[in-house]
Amino acid sequence: MTTAESVILEVPDPAAAQSFYEAFGVGDRVHVRASQTPTTGFRGYTLSLVVSQPNIVDAFVGAALAGGATELKPVKKSFWGYGGVVQAPDGAIWKIATSSKKNTGPATREIDDLVLLLGVDDVKASKQFYVDHGLEVSKSYGRKYVQFTAPPTKLTVALYGRKALAKDAGVSPDGSGSHRIVITGDGEPFTDPDGFVWDTNPA
């Protein structure tokens, strides 16, 4: 079974980005490398931190904003839980959320799951591509959403329609150029139908 290990974000200033992510609290889960590859608008993906309670959401969002992130969707309660969306200084979009509406302990800054949501043109076709490349489906909702199996503490990869993902993030779906992200994992390197790159031993 093929699984994702982590993500590499391509950024113009690796030192500044690494400093931001360490202060944000995800420095051990995200890697950065220098790149000046052109990109405009929505890059076609979001990263989500799934946590256990609202005060942890507040802690992560507060740290991101203090480090220079931009608020895309303010933190608020909804029928599904509690969360908000920010954009890091390097341009990556982060959603921090919990299904819980009440705090039951201290704000530990502990991450339950790190999810990379890929915005794709055709969820069904991309799902089949990934299955053919050795990934195992753990959740599937027709042409709307697919999630792949991931070992504990590793990166969970999921597929969502590009327009729906942009709406969830609070941005326009328009964008072009590089995704500015590389997914690391086992198996053979490949590029998916939407241009997302998977690499075994990235430089």
* Integer angstrom CA distances of residue 140 from 35, 145, 158: 34, 6, 9
pLDDT digits (tens, 9 = 90+) for 127-174: 999 999 999 999 999 899 999 999 888 899 999 999 999 999 999 999
Q: Are 51 and 110 in contact (CB under 8 A)?
A: yes
Going by the DSSP 8-state scheme, the letter that residue 25 receives in this structure is T
CATH number at residue 147: 3.10.180.10
Give CA–CA dist 143/84, Å, rounded.
25
- Residue 10's domain comprises 4-199
Is 0.85 surpassed by the pTM of this model? Answer: yes
Residues forming beta bridges with residue 137, ordered by sequence position: 148
Q: How many domains does the chain have?
A: 1
Q: DSSP string of 26-80? A: -TTTEEEEE----EEE--SEEEEEE-SSHHHHHHHHHHHHHTT-EEEEEEEEETT
Give CA–CA dist 184/171, Å, rounded.
26
The model's confidence at residue 188, banded by pLDDT at 50, 70 and 90, is confident
